[in-house]
Chains A and B, each alone.
Chain A
Amino acid sequence: MYRYDEFDERLVRERVAQFASQVARRIDGSLTDAEFLPLRLKNGLYLQLHSYMLRIAVPYGTLHARQLRQLARIADEYDRGYGHFTTRTNLQFNWSKLKDVPTVLGLLADVEMHCIQTSGNCIRNVTADHFAGVAHDEIEDPRPIAELIRQWSTLHPEFEWLGRKFKIAVSGATHDRAVVKSHDLGVRIVRDPASGETGYEILVGGGLGRTPFAAKVLREFLPREDLLAYLEAVLRVYNLEGRRDNKFKARLKILVHELGIEALRALVEEEFAHIDKARVNADPQEQARIAAYFAPPAYEDLPEVSRKLEDAQIRDPELARFVEHNLFRHKKRGYTAVTISLKPIGGTPGDITSEQMRAVADLAEKYSFDELRVTHAQNLVLPNVKLDDVAEVYEALKAHDLATANIGRITDIISCPGLDYCSLATARSIPIAQVLSHHFADPEKQKQIGEVSIKISGCINACGHHHVGNIGILGLEKKGVESYQITVGGDPSENYALGELLGPGVPAEYVPEAVDKVVSVYLAERQQGETFIETYRRIGLAPFKAAFKEIADVAA
């Protein structure tokens, strides 16, 4: 994992002092409320329905134990004993007090953390494949360039005041686990077939929200050394050409849509040609310095199969279920990446108590080389666990209600905070997730349904990624009543697709039945070995629509 050097450390400390000064200048009237607002947002501080909310950056979803323990301490001393992991792999505290924020920022700086650019019209927290560095299908670990981009985008003097937020994701594997195509800018590490060198495919203009678009390829192959100069060119073109007349048309995706990808490419390439690359790019030695922090830990040579784990599974069918659902194939023989579900049946997706944080931190230290990941699906990962240790890890997780065996299953629901917390929300989303979770709680039923994703957003801004859920649920307000639109067929992976609407919105109480209908169509129609999304692609929308209509008609 990356560790701050003296410069990273000093910059974050100075940023804390800067925010304290901004708060003081708001209080003494030097700054108006309108002037203070973007400054506060750039430091991750929102005013929500009931309280301030503080959003803490977890760069490319990477944490170590000491950081998670510090988050637990902040939860206990300055919040209400829990936090919430988001789809941008950040952590939110929902009950912050303005007067405490500078102190909390200081505590974060003590463990190399901050809230810089977790909101506002600037480059946001960079996300990455949560199995980066350990995935069996990886071309190259994307964390070094994620860190390079984190540093480059931090307090960037030219790009702190963009027309709208700007999200970047990086992936180094063949399978896309970082939802690259829903980002303003995606970086995919690819290998040049001719030279065998690795470089970057750059995609732009993706986004969810009220006008969802899939990102398009802007550059097929960018040499490694030019990454920062090229990013500068893209951001400059966006800053200059992006619309500023309408907040809802200000994202890069709208510029791509209105100009066309070819015209945008011409502008970017022209700007790129003007940039003095030697003056802007990071030295190869700097890239190597960062990459060295991500060298693989001291793995042992272990057999492919763990007899210990196999025997334990025979004795404990629940462990067997956990192994089947929550383990991911590691690139190192004898190891596995264990996903910790933050989706207990009936729980709030992504929520974690301070006591659970401490338990997970202990496990990371004892079993995973002190490493943790946050996933965009609002779960945690112990990326480096020996297969021999899985049963012990499972027992420890179970003791803290963290052993739910449902990763990638129908109860592994992504949900935004919705109207329970968020001032933008038009409907509640957490209670919908909870009801659906109870509805499909039976492990045998979940196993029968197999791999399927439900994603819920409480407003059109789509923080819950509903567009790319196999089953997407969007909460809206219709004549003072919460109403839920359901889509099917969304896919966040390399087979990226936006879901299709089934019909009119239905009231909350009809949602479980509607989802049931959708699942029943799949179960009735699926062929040998087909997942939900595969069946959907083969049979299309019509059968799902017909089944949904029965519910919609009753609901109407």
Chain B
Amino acid sequence: MLLLDREGAKADLWTRVETLDISADKVIVPSALLQDALAARRPGQQIGVAIDNTERAAALEPYFGALALVVIAFPTGYNGRGFSIARQLRERGFSGLLRASGPLVSDQFPHALACGFDEIELPDASAERQPVEQWLAAAARISLNYQRGYNYGAVANILEQRRAARRAGAANV
């Protein structure tokens, strides 16, 4: 697995478990165990949850304050449901880390960032063909977007730019 964010490759400090064996400092549990894991949490310990893309953002809403990470599975690169789940989580106030996990392609990196993801967890087979440099290049390739409210990194919003130009124009009159 390769973990990367907009700065490049990063170490994965999280441990994934399938049971309530939550001894590590940063633990990712399946959503079925989330409530129990949060109840058993030690002081200073961070809990994350891994969800399928058939699960709903609204189901996590009660735990937003206690959750440090949400991992959304992408079963294939071209199943884009996870982008909407991420967007919903952000729109509804989740401020922890958001991770996309699955065989995405680097061209989807800007989409993931724009929808609120912080990092991508890539299977080895994908990472071998698409090194980190390709992901960083992909994130910077389109420097503008039309969609207001989807802001990320170096991307400028066209409608905001036009609005600023209008205001500057009005101020100069």
Report which A residues bind B (CB closer than 8 A).
5, 7-8, 10-11, 14-15, 17-18, 21-22, 25, 29-32, 35, 38-39, 121, 151-152, 154-163, 228, 236, 239-240, 244, 274-276, 279-283, 285-286, 289
Contact = CB atoms under 8 A, between A and B. Distances in A.
B80 A30 contact: no
B141 A280 contact: no
A17 B141 contact: yes
A393 to B, nearest CB: 37
Contacts of A35: 77, 105
20 contacts: A5-B162, A14-B141, A14-B144, A25-B106, A30-B106, A31-B129, A38-B78, A154-B146, A157-B110, A157-B147, A158-B84, A160-B111, A161-B78, A239-B80, A239-B83, A240-B84, A276-B91, A280-B148, A281-B148, A286-B163
A286 B167 CA distance: 12
B128 to A, nearest CB: 10
A250 to B, nearest CB: 11
A151 B81 contact: no
A279 B107 contact: no
Contact of A275 (B77, B91, B105, B114): B91
A155 B145 contact: yes
A228 B81 CA distance: 20
Contact of B114 (A121, A157, A244): A157
B95 to A, nearest CB: 15
B80 A162 contact: yes
Contacts of A15: 142
Interface in B98-115: 105-108, 110-115
B84 A244 contact: no
A161 B114 CA distance: 14
Contacts of A156: 146-147
B37 to A, nearest CB: 25
Contacts of B159: 282-283, 286
B115 A157 contact: yes
Contacts of B129: 29-32
A10 B148 contact: no
Contact of B80 (A32, A154, A159): A159
Given A29-B129, A285-B166, A236 B88 contact: yes
Contacts of A281: 148
B142 A18 contact: yes
Contacts of A152: 146-147
Contacts of B134: 25, 30
A283 to B, nearest CB: 6
A523 B169 CA distance: 65
B148 A22 contact: no
Contacts, number: 124
B142 A279 contact: no
Given A158-B84, A236-B88, 18 more contacts: A10-B144, A11-B145, A14-B143, A29-B129, A30-B134, A31-B130, A158-B114, A158-B150, A159-B80, A161-B77, A161-B78, A161-B80, A163-B79, A236-B84, A239-B84, A274-B92, A276-B91, A285-B166
Contacts of B163: 283, 285-286
Given A22-B107, A285-B166, A7 B84 contact: no
Contact of A286 (B92, B107, B113, B162): B162
Nearest to B113: A157
Contacts of B85: 240
A94 to B, nearest CB: 26
Nearest to B151: A279
A14 to B, nearest CB: 5
Contacts of A30: 106, 129-130, 134
Contacts of A280: 147-149
Contacts of A29: 129
**Which among A154, A161, A275 has the greatest number of chain B C-beta atoms within 10 A?**
A161
B158 interface: yes
Contact of B105 (A17, A39, A163, A274): A39
A11 B141 contact: no
A289 B107 contact: no
Given A11-B144, A22-B107, A283-B163, A157 B83 contact: yes
B161 interface: yes
Contact of A7 (B79, B87, B149, B161): B161
Contacts of B115: 157-158
A158 B83 contact: yes
B29 to A, nearest CB: 23
A276 B87 CA distance: 12
